[in-house]
Chain A
Amino acid sequence: MGELTLHLGDRAVTCDVEREGDGFVVRAGGGAHRVHLSPLGAGALRVRVGDHLAIATVARQGERWYLHLDGHTLEYRVASGGRRGAPRASGAGLVAPMPGLVTQVLAGVGDSVTVGQPLVIIEAMKMEHVIRSSLGGRIRAINVRSGDQIEGGTVVVEVSPAEGAGGSAP
C-alpha cells in the first residue's frame, strides 16, 4: 500500500503501510507494528497492536482525522505517497492555531522581522492569541486584514529568511 505521511500539528511522520493477512504492518518511528482493525460501527474500531487489544474511536471531517485510544487523542491529516521527501519551501508560513477574529496586524509587507516578534493578534473565545515570527527575515506576504474572521490553519503571514541567516539550506 506504500507510504503515508501523517501530519500531526507541526510535525510530519512518514509511515510505510503494508497489508499482511487481514491486518497491516506499519513501519513508523523506527519500529514495525502489526495492526488489526475491525470496524464495529458508530466510529468504534476494535484495534489490536501486537499483543494488545483496545477499542478506538475515530472521527473524520474532511482532511482531518481524530483518533482516541486509551486516553490519548490524536488529530492528524494524511497525505499518501511521495510527499515525504518534498523539500519544504524556504521561509515560514505562520498559521493561525485557531479560528477567530483578526484584531491587529502589527507589520507590513517588506518589513524585516526578528524571531518572536509579534505580527498578528487574533481573538477567539474571549482570549487573545499573538502570532509571532518563527524566524528572522523579511515579510513576503500578509494574507489577513484587521477585522477578518479566519479559520484555524490559515496562513496569515509568510516570512522569507534573512540572507545568510539560520540556514542549513543547501
Chain B
Amino acid sequence: MTRRERALQTARRGGLVTVIALVGLAVVYVRAIAFTPIERTQGPAQKIFYVHAPIAWATMLAFAVTGLLSLLYLTMRDRKFDLMAAASAEVGTALGIAMLTTGPLWAKPIWGTFWTWDARLTSTLFTFLLFVGYLVLRGALSDFEVRARFSAVLGVMALVLVPFIHVTVYWFRTLHPDPVVMKPEGPSLPAVMLTTLLTSLIVCTVLYIGLVMQRYALAVLEDVREEEEAGDGIS
C-alpha cells in the first residue's frame, strides 16, 4: 500500500467517523431542544451551553494535541507528527470559530453583555489567537523541514503558555467583583441535563477525531504530490 493509498484510506475512515459524529450532533440538537427541560432562571438560552461547552472542549483538545505532537516531533523528528500537529491545529481553529461565536451568544442573555472577560472565555480567545499565529507561521514557510521544526517550537511554547494565560486571566478576573448576578454553571446540573451535556461532549470529541483524520490524510496527499512534482530522488 503506497503512502497515497494509505492516506486515502485514512481519509475514508475519517469521513465515516465525521458522518457518525454529525448524526450524533443532530441527535444532541433534538435531545437538547425537545427533550431537555428549560432552565427556570436562565431560559432557553441556557441550552446554548450544551453546544458551546463541548465545542470549546474539542477546540482546546485540538490545541493540546497539537502541542503534544509538536513535542513528539522535536524529539522523534518523524514528519508524521508534524503533519498531524498541523491537522489538529487547523481543526481546532475551525471549531474555535464556532466556540467564539456561540460563547458571546450565550453570555449576552445570561450575563448581560456579549463579552464578559470571564476567565474561561478570555483564555480560550487568547489560545485561539495563539494557534491562528501557528497557522500563519506555517503558511509563511515554504521549506517543509523548516516549517515542521519552527511550528513544533511554537507548538511546544503554546502548550506551556495556555495554563499561564488561564491563571493570569483568572486572577485578573476574580479580583474585580463580578458585575453579573448569575454564575454560568449555576446549580449542579440535574441528571437529564447532564446526560445531554455528556452526549454532546462525546459527539464533539468524535467529530474532532473524524475531522483530524481527514485533515491529516489531506496533508499527506499534498506532501506526496509535492514530492512527485519535485522530480527524481537519489539512487
Q: Do A and B come from one complex?
A: no
